[in-house]
Amino acid sequence: MPPWVIVPLPETLDPAAALTPVAGESPLVRVVRSMAEASAPGRVVVVSTAPHVDAADTLRAAGLDAVPVITADLAASRRDVLAAGLRHLGVQRDSRDPVLVCDCLHPLSPVAVAGRVADALARGHDVVVPILAVTDTVKTVDAGGSVLGTVDRTILRTVQFPRGFAASALWDLVAAPSPATVAAVADVDEFGAALRAGLDIGTVAGDPDAARVELPRDTDLLAAVIASGGPPAVARPPGRRDRTSP
């Protein structure tokens, strides 16, 4: 079964981070194009909030007007945005259908990563995230900034997007009646809430190109990654897949 896909544009996301064109396409367009290929018509939705009024026009200009852009209520939290996406797609609360949650701050995540996440969900996990090993040296420091020691990075991983959820698990996270749970999902990402809830979380291989970037600050970095062989920008032939990791 093709996954359902929600691309949230919460109020806390700077519009420039989603809509600034780099090498011909904005992060929003790159994410939606990739997820449309990973899923199927009618199974992808962008959920916008007030700061992102240009999202629909941006997708229309890129030939992606078949992907709907709906608007969440004014001042909607991330929890509200995700719930609006689930309702729009008609995702059943008691189903185990795969739901992918994307992030425009990871605009180069290839189709293959989404496929790995969806496949792992089908094996029974509540949540699945793509990960990469941490290669930087990580230090612990005291309150004064003095180095105390080196963290063993062999057990550390960075977590990327898209993140996959069994539909029932995501519904529980965004519609939970507990005030503590509601506040947690409103203030932080749903993956952190899943960890606190003790859900079964699996992992799959991520992709080096799918690192987090923030525009306009990282414009040059993103352009360099694209120029070095990341997913192409425009005029992609139908059915062509993005480059995947080795």
Cα separation values, 142 from 114, 136, 146, 149, 168, Å: 39, 19, 6, 10, 42
Mean pLDDT value of segment 80-107 = 96
Half-sphere exposure of 62 (CA within 13 A, CB side): 25
Q: Note the pLDDT of residue 238.
A: 38
pLDDT at position 75 is 63
Could you tell me which of 161, 213, 215, 166 has the C-alpha nearest to residue 189? Answer: 161
pLDDT tens for 154-209 read 899 999 999 999 999 999 999 855 555 555 455 558 999 999 999 999 999 999 99
pLDDT tens by residue, 141-150: 999 999 999 9
In the numeric block, the tokens 């996440």 are attached to: 117
Query: Sorting pLDDT into bands at 50, 70 and 90, what band is 77?
Result: confident
Residue 64 has pLDDT above 70, yes or no: yes
User: Which domains are delineated in the chain?
Assistant: 4-227 (3.90.550.10)
Percentage of residues of the chain with pLDDT beyond 90: 71
Q: What are the E-state strand segments in the chain?
A: 4-9, 44-48, 69-71, 98-101, 127-133, 139-141, 147-150, 157-159, 163-166, 201-205
| pLDDT tens string 197-234 | 999 999 999 999 999 998 999 999 999 999 987 544 44
* Most confidently predicted of 30-34, 50-54, 145-149, 215-219: 30-34
CB 17 within 8 A of CB 55: no
pTM of the entire structure?
A: 0.87
CA 55, 56, 59: angle at the middle one, nearest 5? Answer: 90
